[in-house]
Chains A and B, each alone.
Chain A
Amino acid sequence: MNLWLGLLMGFKEIWAHKFRSFLTMLGVILGVASLLSMFSLTAGMARGMREYMTQVGGIEFVGVINQEVPPHQEYLWEISPGRTVADADAISRARALVTYVSPVVDINANVVAGAENFRGEVKGAWPDYMPINKHIVEVGRDLCWLDVETAQRVAVIGRSVVEKLWPETPNYNAVGETIVINQRPFRVVGIFEYYEREEDKRRRELGLQNAASGGGNRRRESNFGRGGPFGRKNMQIIIPLSTAFYEFRSANLVGKEDQGPNHKLDGLVFQVADTSRFHETLDRVTEILKITHRGIEDFGFDTREEWFDRIEQNVKSVRASGGLIAGISLIVGGIGITNIMLASITERIREIGVRRAVGAKGRDIFVQIVVESAVIGFIGGLLGLIASLGVMRILVAISPAENAPVLELNNVLISFSFAVIIGVFSGLYPAWKAARIEPIEALRYG
């Protein structure tokens, strides 16, 4: 007997007992539905977190931070100049390992344009700051080295800044406008694109109402967006580093006394060229910085590596535990199949006898029963995939997540093949039993 005929017979058998077969499949259907929904929910979660990670610079982003001096160097710490532009210059020479590097100074500023104003943070940086932080200029131009060399009073600003300063005109092209940062006029030369989650973008493009927030504003930010990396990124104002030093750091008043210019940086960020050589790169940068810091180890690294690992770890463990629970329900479905198949062979013992009498081998009977239960698993799996769409809707309705479930092909395949495997395995024992029935016994029965 060939497999094709076996499959045909399996389908026929199932069709002959539609309702019973459906009840048998129900366990598998629900199992597959919950398995796939769970996979899709975690996939959505993972995607959200990865998007977040990319927004804040991705895994290749490294920040140089100040750190406690080790005890044996404590009496020396004053000889280190701290983080300065010299560090950035030195790191920038290691181009093979570091693609971009930028020093950063933060200026707490009052920003004014016309009648509108707000307090915010202005960052002085090199043009490299943009690619390190995955900034994309939508209108106008990026910062350039000439701006830095000649300390131009220019600024590239985020979309939300434009909206704050020109609230009357939506999507205003503010390039060429002047904004006043701590009483100094700056010309806006570029505006960043609006940063948001893929999902929000899709929703906005489709013109869908975001259930989480009402109101008529063109850009509504979810809770995740306003305080999160997207919101912060949209509120950035970037000016040339040199300008920031000349305009805001050339005098350092404490009380009424000038302490002289402040050369220290508030940040120093770079991008690793090859993440597979991440640690090697950090070692090299450490060597470089030890030279510029006169051997004092008063710096450390803020990397996303651990963060990334933790995300992957979390996703994996959620996936594993959810998968286990859903898998158990699928196995319960499999037990249901075994049970029904056992009942079914008792019911069909005469048929088995007839088949044996006309020449079926035990093996043929075995294959027939296994194929039949595999077909139940197969159909149950297919229906389960369809049902999972409904289950996901229900889950999203019950607990509106920030990240919508993502249906991934490999998850679909895993869930489906698990159903078929369960089908095959649940058929093994009934099939073995059926194959062992003596033909004479079977013919005598009934």
Chain B
Amino acid sequence: MALIELREVTKRYKVGEQEINALMGINLDIEQGEYAAIIGPSGSGKSTLMHLLGCLDTPTSGTMKIDGIDVSRASENRLAEMRNQKIGFVFQAFNLLNKFNVLQNVELPMIYSSVPAKDRRQRALDAIERVGLSQRIHNTPLQLSGGQMQRVAIARALVNSPRIIFADEPTGNLDSNTGANILEMFRELSRQGSTIVLVTHDNNIANNAPRRIEICDGRIVHDGSSLPASPEIAKP
């Protein structure tokens, strides 16, 4: 059984009087240990898809299973538990809490999963070590560079040992060098066995991942190895 299973998933929004079909009949399987990129232009529905996969939202119809658990009709609290236990997020804007230091930021997910205080600290330190920031644990995010901030965010995503890591344009706010470093870090995590789903509009970044899922107008138009199929996406 796949780690993520989407069957005929649709998502409709109401914006005022207008109904928007953000996703139309998505079927998708992502296996344990896979490294996949979801690529598509803005408005294609890739963000909506990521919100669904990340348990930030539920589909309008269809079924969605993550790690064997059907979350398509799950309650708000159940979704929060899923996000906490099974999913790690890395955002474009890092989304660290500036008033907390690095250690506290990484500890944050564990606060909501009743990990005892001393384990919390140890696990956070381990995660920070994996991203190579052990020297900066007492700094606040504002004292870090963009790349360092994103590494803190990755440490935070890793700390609860999630089944999947979602990265939403993780290099969008970084210069190309730092971005490359971050992508290297994802590849390394993938080699260590993590399941990673990268969401991007940038072809070069998508090429990092062995599997490529192209989405356009709410449908998957290509799902396979990292070769561009849709000509308009292939354009730089």
Contacts and interface: CB of A to CB of B under 8 A. Distances in A.
B77 to A, nearest CB: 5
Nearest to A353: B95
Interface stretch (A48-56, A91-99, A211-219, A359-367): A359-367
Given A354-B97, A361-B80, A440 B51 contact: yes
Contacts of B114: 2
A232 interface: no
A356 interface: yes
A440 B48 CA distance: 10
Contact of A1 (B57, B89, B112): B112
B78 to A, nearest CB: 10
Interface of B: 51, 54, 56-57, 76-77, 80-81, 83-85, 89, 91, 95-97, 99, 108-109, 111-114, 156, 160
A361 B112 contact: yes
A354 B98 CA distance: 12
Interface string A6-19: 00000011001000
Nearest to B95: A354
B56 A439 contact: yes
A357 B95 contact: yes
A345 interface: no
A358 interface: yes
B84 A351 contact: no
Interface in A317-362: 350-351, 353-362
Q: Which of A358, A361, A364 has the most CB of B within 10 A?
A: A358
A175 interface: no
A359 B99 contact: no
Nearest to A6: B111
B111 A1 contact: yes
A141 B96 CA distance: 85
Contacts of B156: 358
A1 B85 CA distance: 14
A101 to B, nearest CB: 72
B83 A358 contact: yes
Contact of B113 (A353, A359, A363, A440): A359
A5 interface: yes
15 contacts: A13-B99, A351-B97, A355-B112, A357-B89, A357-B95, A358-B84, A359-B81, A359-B83, A359-B84, A359-B113, A359-B160, A360-B80, A361-B77, A443-B56, A443-B91
Interface of chain A, helix or strand or loop or mixed? helix
A2 B116 CA distance: 10
A359 B56 contact: no
B95 A359 contact: no
Nearest to A2: B114
B97 A359 contact: no
Contact of A363 (B77, B91, B160): B77
B112 A12 contact: no
A13 B99 CA distance: 9
Contacts of B51: 440
B89 to A, nearest CB: 5
Given A362-B80, A440-B57, 12 more contacts: A1-B112, A350-B95, A356-B56, A357-B56, A357-B91, A359-B80, A359-B83, A359-B84, A360-B80, A360-B84, A361-B77, A440-B56
B128 to A, nearest CB: 16
A315 to B, nearest CB: 49
Contacts of A2: 114
A266 to B, nearest CB: 80
A-B complex: 10 closest residue pairs judged by Cβ atoms? A359-B84, A358-B109, A359-B112, A361-B80, A354-B95, A359-B83, A360-B112, A361-B77, A439-B56, A440-B56
A63 B80 CA distance: 77
A446 B115 CA distance: 31
B65 to A, nearest CB: 19
Q: Which of B56, B109, B114 has the most CB of A within 10 A?
A: B56
Contact of A362 (B76, B83, B99, B113): B76
Contacts of A359: 80-81, 83-85, 109, 112-113, 160
Q: Which of A1, A2, A351, A357 has the most CB of B within 10 A?
A: A357
A362 B54 CA distance: 17
Contact of B108 (A12, A358, A439): A358
A304 B51 CA distance: 78
A356 B89 CA distance: 11
Contacts of A13: 99
Interface in A38-70: none
Contact of B95 (A1, A5, A363, A443): A443
Nearest to A17: B99
A118 to B, nearest CB: 79
Nearest to B112: A359
Nearest to A354: B95
B50 to A, nearest CB: 10
B111 A356 contact: no
A359 B160 CA distance: 10
Nearest to A5: B111
A13 B91 CA distance: 24
A360 B85 CA distance: 11
Contacts of B160: 359
Contact of B76 (A355, A358, A361): A361
Interface string A380-424: 000000000000000000000000000000000000000000000
A345 to B, nearest CB: 15
